[in-house]
Structure 1
Amino acid sequence: MVTLSDVAKEANVSKMTVSRVINHPEQVTQELRKLVEQAMTTLDYHPNYIAQALVNNRTNVVKFVTLENIDTTEPYYMTLLFGFARGLAKKQYAFQLVTDPSKIEQGNADGYLITGARSKDYEYFDKLDKPFVLFGENHRGYDFVDNDNQLGEKKATKYALSRLYKHLIFMGIDVKEPFEYSREAGYINTLQQNQMIPQIYRVSNHSHEAQKVIKEHFNSFKKDTCFICASDRIAVGVVRQLLKEGAKLPADFGVIGYDGVFLNQVSNPQLTTVKQPILKMGEFLADMLLQKIEQSGSPQGEIMLEPSLVRRGTTR
């Protein structure tokens, strides 16, 4: 069986250095950490994280806390959760799913991943006594991982322009939250750079609400209009009502969604959308949370991953 001494010999460092790389990676340089990790890979050495947890008085359990109703968000959170679990598995961590905010601190855990947070929740987070990270950008200074929402809508808007749509309308989500502000900013800034005037409608994140807007204003929409939507759910409603009104997609009207998890594929025609790297974001969240636990709650900052544009049948 490969031992700590074997790894130290392979990396040409001391046993103490190997131990620090495993237990306190923040105390060694990145170059030294890579050297030891390469030796561990070469020798197929796997640290006993359960033993480490006992030594460090940890549970090796974290909580995945969702403050949204996951019954109505398609596989979005399930995909995030799988990525999170994959990241935790690297350090032999388990997670507990919490859907009731009042039970966040019940039972033992080393830290929390909090999803679906809104501005009204921030005051409560300041009272938590364990390390936590957020899924979703915020302006409060909390550590978080998200996709680059502004860049995503910038890509969508630029693509619509490249497909020669002359009128671009933004269908936003009616919430005063950082992610929505960023998506609107991506659309607005791109139009202003092209000397075009923004036109924005905001609805709750439900397809039937988007349908109401299209039905009410359809006669005012000109041909060669593309709807840039803040979610796939809104985009599905736009597509559905445009077809009911007899509009020609994508010849006369285009629609671009945002998320790229499930609805974009079941829509008919399938949605052009901005796809978030949700599985990857889950892994990054696990890495950030575990590192924060290792570093006794030290700030980790923010990670913004780049979304991609997926071209399908609702744009020409």
Structure 2
Amino acid sequence: MGVTIKDVAKYAGVSPGTVSRAFHGYQDISEETRQRIFEAVRELGYAPNVNARSLSSKAAPNIGMIVSGLLESSGKDNTVYMLLQGVYKYAFENGMEVALYTTDSANQNRKPYVRFCMEHSLYGAILSGIKTNDSYFEELINSKIPCVLIDVNLQGQQLGYVSTDNVEAARAQAQYLFDANHQKIVVISGRKNAAVTMERIAGIYHAFQENGKELSRDCILYCEFSEEIAYENTRKFLQTKGRDAVTAFLCMSDLMALGVMKAVKEEGLKIPEDISIIGFDGLPIVEYTTPAITTIQQDFVEMGYQAAALLQNKMNGLETPSGIYVPFQFVERDSVRKLQI
């Protein structure tokens, strides 16, 4: 027999009704009692019985899309919107209710994942924006509430992930530049503690090794997936190393590619005549820059759709793959010049 709400109540020294009210976020429970209840949940490994709750209620099952770090994102980045489109499309087709919630690294310490789901009556969740040093990262491994992560390959009984093959996509980026005879490549990297950064760095290293080249640490600029930081670091690199130190910037996001483009132009250089730039994500805005940016296009709507489908299968106790890779598309535009040997 699994752990029941009565077991949680007994362990915490409260009534089952108090446990239920804590799960649903009622404010008439002291914070000390609430913490004791959720500590019991964690210690006992309690998770709601999704199928039983579905049978006992006429309401559609609730799933949540939890986005971490939303305030850090740029208004030019519409990836969350596209992911939510895909999630909602699947939910609508399958009679499910989906709601968007936000958190950040600090709030994860104050309100653990299990507590967050309980208080919002979530049967399962799709998480986007989780970093490897977030408190949710380790908690999810042992959680019994179904969860699907976007772009984080984390293994666990109730875990799944949906992503682009970031290793292969980044390898393709670098190989494209090598095929265009670029030798002086500078990588505009994301956050050091982001899973996608690690995977894309691995793909870039593969391409360098396959072409008999070495990627110097001085040629990796960590820019936090920020347009502003990419702009600042690119200007600093060009001013200190000189324009002859680089022929191409390989960017791990289109937003950072925009920052690089601005810095290159302000230094009096032309794109792609003097400097080539390649991006990653396929944001609509980079189709309209001058020049339009060559990029890796991710299908975020399909990623959201597949994440919702995988989550429902896990909620229903079905056998599922640990993860799903959604194909990417290489979009060739005008920001990369083929050099003459």
In the TM superposition, what are the counterparts of 1:71-110 in structure 2 within 5 Å?
Answer: 72-73=73-74, 74-100=77-103, 102=111, 103-110=116-123
SS at match of 1:143: strand
Distance 2:227 2:119 in 1: 36
Deviations 1:63-112 (A, max 9, x none): 11111216724211000100111112221111011114534331323211
SS at match of 1:109: coil
In structure 2, the residue matched to 1:16 is none
**Structure 1 counterpart of 2:198, from 159, 176, 181:** 181
Distance 2:154 2:143 in 1: 18
TM superposition outliers: structure 1 runs of 4+ over 6 Å? none
In structure 2, the residue matched to 1:241 is 263
Instruction: Quote the offset at 1:282 in angstroms.
Output: 0.8
Instruction: Quote the offset at 1:202 in angstroms.
Output: 1.4
Q: One-letter code of the match for 1:207?
A: E
In structure 2, the residue matched to 1:17 is none
Alignment TM-score, normalising by the size of structure 2: 0.71
In the TM superposition, what are the counterparts of 1:188-227 in structure 2 within 5 Å?
Answer: 188-198=205-215, 199-218=219-238, 219-222=241-244, 225-227=247-249
Alignment TM-score, normalising by the size of structure 1: 0.76
**Structure 2 counterpart of 1:308, from 304, 325, 329:** 329
Deviations 1:109-164 (A, max 9, x none): 32111111122222332564421111112344441000111111111111112222
Instruction: Quote the offset at 1:217 in angstroms.
Output: 2.1
Question: How many residue pairs were aligned?
Answer: 264
Q: One-letter code of the match for 1:162?
A: D
Distance 1:71 1:137 in 2: 18
In the TM superposition, what are the counterparts of 1:123-272 in structure 2 within 5 Å?
Answer: 123-126=138-141, 128-141=143-156, 142-198=159-215, 199-218=219-238, 219-222=241-244, 225-272=247-294
Aligned alpha-carbon RMSD (Å): 2.4
Q: One-letter code of the match for 1:209?
A: I
Distance 2:173 2:141 in 1: 36
| Structure 2: gaps spanning 5 or more residues | 1-51
| Structure 1: gaps spanning 5 or more residues | 1-51
Q: Per the alignment, do residues 66 and 224 of structure 1 end up closer, same or farther by CA in structure 2, a change over 3 Å counting?
A: closer
Q: One-letter code of the match for 2:147?
A: F
Q: One-letter code of the match for 2:305?
A: E
SS at match of 1:235: helix
Distance 1:116 1:221 in 2: 35
Task: Confirm or deny: 8 A CA contact 1:98 1:104 kept in the other structure.
Answer: no
Q: One-letter code of the match for 1:97?
A: L
In structure 1, the residue matched to 2:55 is 55
Task: Confirm or deny: 8 A CA contact 2:155 2:322 kept in the other structure.
Answer: no
